[in-house]
Amino acid sequence: MAVWPGGVRRHTGPVITEVDEALCVLLGRSLPEGTMVRLDPPKPTWETERPTNAIDLFLYGLHDDQSGRESGWADERDERGAVLARREPNRRCSLSYLVTARAEKINEEHLLLGAALRTMLFTDSLPADCMPDSLVAAGAPVLIKIADTDPGALWSNLGMPARASFAITVSAPFLPAADTDLAPPAEKIRLNSGQNVPARTGALAPAQPRRWVRTP
């Protein structure tokens, strides 16, 4: 978080890790007590490890969210209205997560996965009380939707047997650093009304007559 002169605050923190943290908080509220929410990638040892009740979030993709782009520069002003900094339009990045569950029994995995899916279906944007203060201060929503991605292809690319899972896309704001290298504001303005202009001497050339030409 950066603080510009005049107390203007702008978010410049690590957006990805803050979204990770917010998703873990959001899911943790809807899961049975004792269920872990982890950011572990799927790994082959899952097949031999003794599972614990957990929801795993795997960040597998990042790309520019063109649909969320803004236009026009924004001015940061102090209490007197003086421009302190200018900032480029916000950008957005789409973070893609694979969501899967781990439990001792398949039906227990499905119960956990169903609770996670319901939470994501009914959450259009991350609630403020789930996000770190610095992400809230950005003043832009963090949007969530269920992705159309086929999880089966992801498991194949990871070289693992397919598991019940779904994918989500999170659109998070990235705020550019403000440009503070500005010319200082004008302190005085000089207006010349022409009263002190010296009088013209000598004869003035007569004005040329106007000619009008009629065109067809």
**Which has the higher per-residue pLDDT, 138 or 163?**
163
Domain range for 36 = 14-71+92-125+143-173
d(CA 123, CA 146): 10
Look at residue 206 and tell me if it is in a domain: no
Look at residue 62 and tell me if it is in a domain: yes
Look at residue 23 and tell me if it is in a domain: yes
Look at residue 150 and tell me if it is in a domain: yes
Look at residue 87 and tell me if it is in a domain: no
Cβ proximity of 127 and 26 under 8 Å: yes
pTM for this model (two decimals): 0.70
Count of domains for the chain: 1
d(CA 142, CA 128): 9
pLDDT of 2 reads 37
d(CA 96, CA 145): 10
Look at residue 2 and tell me if it is in a domain: no
d(CA 63, CA 39): 19
- CATH code for the domain in which residue 44 is found: 3.30.2000
Q: Where are the alpha helices (DSSP H) in the chain?
A: 15-30, 106-121, 133-136, 151-158
**Which has the higher per-residue pLDDT, 110 or 66?**
110
